[in-house]
Structure 1
Amino acid sequence: MKNFKIKNLWMLIVIIIMAACSPIEDRDELVNSTDIEGVELVATQSTPGGNKITLSMVTPGVTGHWDYGLGLAFTDKVEFVYPIPGKSTFTYNGTLGAEFFSKTIEVQIDALDTPIDQDYYDLVSANTAAGKTWVFNGTGGDGGLWWYMVAPNNPDGWQGAWWNAGGTCCPPPDATGSMKFDLNGGANFTYTSSPGATPVVSSFNLDVENQTLTIVGGNILGAQEPRGNPDGKYTIISLTETELILYVPTNGGGTGWTWVFKPQ
């Protein structure tokens, strides 16, 4: 009888241990509140075809953020002044509940009737469609500082020339060239290596907040290897109506480099 009780006790202990080791499953699963087609994006303009835009995601149960080209807005609604005429595409990235998604909306901008940031006017002129042409602020061998080597990773040291390449022995091959920025239906960048050469058109991105200028699909004057940035991104040291100074923290030669331009 005693052995029978001990045996039953051990069986009870084993059952308790097995029950304790069994996982407690949470059967709650994420589900979509709608599908991508059910996500409604709305764009309104303060005037018909104007460049002051409000983007809204109005579908309940969906969360995410707007990528509106000039930055990210971690809200369902964002208002901004867009500097580029023409048809532009804006993206809402979010979650339906169980999966992530991206959806776009197009906006046609016919007029820059709301003033844009002054940096754009300085870069492309008040006549944004006609644009503005920039050239090097110097010529080869003139002794001036307009294309030169500087310390790496130190924008504050942009004036401390380690080697005045442009002003002394070794100007870039396109030292007599030009580059034009305009907003005629897009952010257009036109590179011309020398007077009479065939222009090459690409695009640019001016990041006013972070003070960077990026050439997309092309490059600036004096970007011969290893001087320029393969990514086309440059730190803006100065941008005024009469001066454009750019700096790259590191290039293929392991140093920094400075460019100084003036309007043509």
Structure 2
Amino acid sequence: MKRLHIYVLGLTAALFNACSPYEKRITPADPAGMQLDFSVKQNPDYDNQVTLESRTKNVIPFWDYGFGTSKEEKAVVIMPFAGDFFIKYAAYGSGGPKTDSVKVTVSENDPLFFSSKLYDLLTNGADGKTWVWAVDVPGGYCFGNGPGDADRPAWWQNGTAELRKQGVLDDEMKFDLNRNTNFSITHGGVTTKATFTLDTLNQRIKINGADISWGSNITYNILKLNANEMTLVQQGDGWRNIWMFKRKGFVF
């Protein structure tokens, strides 16, 4: 199906609530004479796809659907996550803006957008997956650096002792797709919540509003990601820094 608008992952979704597959609204005119006329229609066969149409005369429309915005009179947008959400409509006329909202219900996370296996491997969907340091990886070193093609620390090598010294040994990171691309890190008994952006084409990941354990606040290249192992790298010219994590509960 044709998509006229694609939202950007990593934006924090506002909390919204939902409606029937099709709803048309015509509001009473306000004192300035503006009468809102707009519709919100979900595709009954693919309810992540929503058609927004503004019919209000002589205004500039503005839509906020939680995962993006649009100023077009008619737009087709994607609601990527399952749940109840409000789609907000505003009409800007000579008398100022007038607003309304419509509730939509999305039955499941968008199967088309999340078709890449990387999402499931990283997050286990809405249920989430928790990652910890791979301290029992063969060789015992799970953080450090090495040559530009290294798949594990080779020059500067760190394992349990150094992780404990840095206070990050017991850090836990959780990724999930429950109404957003959620990331959280628990460090020293304190949990910080954020979001993530996953570039499935180039296999890169960026944490928005936090960072991975002992991280460098960068966009990380994904060197390995399977059901039990995740290796992230910072790629340099002839060198790379390497972070090795495992699924919590997994033993090498």
Quickly name the TM-score band, shorter chain normalised. 0.5 to 0.7
What TM-score, normalized by structure 1, do the two folds share? 0.54
Aligned equivalent of 1:21? none
2:231 aligned with 1:248, yes or no? Answer: no
Partners of 1:206 and 1:212 within 8 A in 2: yes
Partners of 1:86 and 1:185 within 8 A in 2: no
Point out the structure with max Rg over C-alpha.
1
Q: Distance in 1 between matches of 2:110 and 2:151?
A: 36
Computed over aligned residues only, the root mean square deviation of the Cα atoms, in angstroms, reads: 4.7
Q: CA deviation at 1:255?
A: 5.8
What pairs up with 1:1-264 in 2 under 5 angstroms?
Answer: 45-47=42-44, 52-53=48-49, 82=80, 87=85, 110-112=106-108, 114-115=110-111, 116-117=114-115, 118-125=117-124, 128-138=125-135, 143-151=139-147, 154=148, 157-159=149-151, 161-167=153-159, 170-171=162-163, 172-194=166-188, 197-223=189-215, 228-229=216-217, 232-250=218-236, 256-264=240-248
Q: Distance in 1 between matches of 2:83 and 2:119?
A: 13
User: Any gaps of 5 or more consecutive residues in structure 1?
Assistant: 1-39, 60-67, 71-75, 90-104
Task: Give the paired residue count.
Answer: 198
User: Any gaps of 5 or more consecutive residues in structure 2?
Assistant: 1-36, 56-65, 69-73, 88-100
In terms of fraction of residues, the more strand-rich structure is 2
Relative contact order higher in (CA < 8 Å, ≥ 6 apart): 2
In terms of fraction of residues, the more helix-rich structure is 1
Identity %: 24
Q: Distance in 1 between matches of 2:105 and 2:150?
A: 38
Q: Distance in 2 between matches of 1:69 and 1:120?
A: 18
What TM-score, normalized by structure 2, do the two folds share? 0.56
**1:81-135 residue CA offsets vs partner (Å, 9 max, x unmatched):** 835756498xxxxxxxxxxxxxxx999563325532221111111xx33211001
Q: Distance in 1 between matches of 2:228 and 2:82?
A: 22
What secondary structure, in the 3-state scheme, does the structure 1 residue paired with 2:157 have?
Answer: coil
Aligned equivalent of 2:12? none
Q: CA deviation at 1:78?
A: 6.8
